[in-house]
Chain A
């Protein structure tokens, strides 16, 4: 494990030297958080048009909310789902540069010639993609929650935005999604030579999360603790399979003779 940390250190050092990449990826969650809270606050202070007291008929749990409450809930929920998307996007970008980039620059062979085990190299690179992404996402999510708790116009809004299901999804499902994203990048690395291609293909992972977003907006899906844990179990199985395939492809022999 010591060498995985050495790899992680080096990846982090390289990332710090790529200012544009760093800014483009790690500043996204804080930016989203600021925008989310700002919009949430504006909805809460600007007088609502209409003045009716009824929620959307399609979503029973929103019935009876004031227009201001309804606005805050809808905005809060839309932004809350973005915290499930970001941990897919950021590790995919970082891992694609860490693995496909290294393949393209032909820097892998000297590393593979050292006494490092391939799993240590893979873990080091995966950690370098996962840790910054999850840390910044969870920190931003915490700020988002604090913003909701402070600026919500009522306790009902707080309860409808910061639900146990959403908290569980952020804590359990997003790390798994990020892990799948990294494993997918490793799998793609054996075939593509451009980090951007790998990112574009791995973007397919956002589709299920978008389904969750639209399902929730339409009132078809309610992200409760049960659903969040159920999704977590499915994601854990997918992650295990994806990691198994990734480790099969991330072997000295395969990298040096099969990766093109």
Chain B
């Protein structure tokens, strides 16, 4: 599959301070890529470089088929960006805001008007199209800013913290909209602090703190860092079964808390029947057997915490 975004050694320094170091990534077209990292990690600087807003100090990138620094105007025409701050004109109406940006994105007036209407309908803002944006709620402003990023139908969309500070309902609407964009075949570059959201939306994730710490699908990241495992809930104290489990050749480790026994093993699908047999042979009465699920937050904390 073709890559919508490719970077090679992308680096940005500010007065000797390194904000982004040697970033090399390849993002497949039509996927959602989550770019996770703490505040000040260099995420916004990366987005600004990829959207041709600021130039890299070193390295190169190909975004939506355009090489960075060659024809940046064409590159900007091919991408859409939701900036960290919505940056809307409060005195202008929703329609006037969008129409202004549609024209700046080279849409001729009839098409600009059609696109404005289409996105105001899609994001459920049509009823308030002629009201000043200053009267809008935070969620409505964010939706309008997303609409602005899409008016010119870009192949690549950068969304910088799209659900930050939104109430759950508005955040859900935005997430559903992002899923819709992926279904249309657009490539989404999403920066977020919301780890469950990244887990839900992203095909691949890059964990970043000035440099790329790890990249992969959410499942790959979890498996790569923590390995696989099984949780067994038994009747009574689980600690008594720990020696039994540890004696099994395929079990890498076992620990117990109350009635819960956590077993780390390489191939749960194959080994779980043997594990259950061994426990039953040791007299255990089993309530549940579940797959051990590490959250993306566990992955993030281990990588970012470890890096600190």
* A→B interface (CB under 8 Å): 3, 6, 10, 13-14, 17-18, 105-117, 252-253, 256-257
Contacts and interface: CB of A to CB of B under 8 A. Distances in A.
A10 B100 contact: yes
Interface residues of B, number: 28
B135 interface: no
B17 to A, nearest CB: 12
Contacts of A17: 91-92
Contacts of A110: 81, 83, 87, 101, 145, 148
Given A6-B103, A115-B74, A109 B85 contact: yes
Contacts of B90: 105
B83 A253 contact: no
Given A14-B91, A105-B90, A110-B87, A253 B96 contact: no
Contacts of A112: 53
B111 interface: no
Contacts of A116: 104
A3 B76 CA distance: 15
Given A114-B104, A257-B54, 10 more contacts: A6-B100, A6-B104, A106-B85, A107-B89, A108-B87, A109-B53, A110-B81, A113-B51, A113-B76, A253-B53
A21 B4 CA distance: 46
Interface string B87-109: 11111100010001101111000
Main secondary structure of the interface of A (DSSP, over half): helix
Nearest to A107: B87
Contacts of A111: 101, 104
A77 B74 CA distance: 55
Contacts of B85: 106, 109
Interface in B60-99: 73-74, 76-77, 81, 83, 85, 87-92, 96
B54 A115 contact: no
B83 A109 contact: yes
Contacts of B103: 3, 6
A115 B96 CA distance: 19
Given A107-B89, A256-B48, A117 B73 contact: yes
B53 to A, nearest CB: 6
A18 B91 contact: yes
Contacts of B106: 115
B87 A252 contact: no
Contacts of A18: 91
Contact of B92 (A3, A13, A114): A13
B4 to A, nearest CB: 17
What 9 A-B pairs come out closest when comparing CB atoms?
A114-B104, A107-B87, A106-B85, A115-B77, A17-B91, A110-B87, A113-B81, A6-B103, A115-B76
Contacts of A113: 51, 53, 76, 81, 83
B156 interface: no
B288 to A, nearest CB: 51
B54 A13 contact: no
Contact of B105 (A106, A107, A115, A253): A115
Contact of B53 (A3, A13, A107, A256): A256
B96 A13 contact: yes
Given A17-B92, A114-B76, A115-B74, A253 B54 contact: yes
Contacts of A6: 100, 103-104
Contacts of B55: 253
B235 to A, nearest CB: 59
A116 B104 CA distance: 6
A17 B101 CA distance: 19
A130 B163 CA distance: 40
Contact of B104 (A115, A256, A257): A115
Nearest to B76: A115
A130 B14 CA distance: 36
A250 B9 CA distance: 28
Contacts of A107: 87-89
10 contacts: A10-B92, A17-B91, A105-B90, A110-B81, A113-B83, A115-B73, A117-B73, A252-B53, A252-B54, A256-B53
Contacts of A252: 53-54
A3 B105 CA distance: 9
A115 B102 CA distance: 11
B157 to A, nearest CB: 11
B101 A114 contact: yes
A13 B148 CA distance: 19
Contacts of A253: 53-55
Nearest to A18: B91
B108 to A, nearest CB: 11
Given A17-B91, A107-B87, A108-B87, A257 B101 contact: no
Nearest to A14: B91
B116 to A, nearest CB: 14
A105 B133 CA distance: 13
Contacts of B51: 113
Nearest to B75: A115
A256 B87 contact: no
Contacts of A3: 103-104
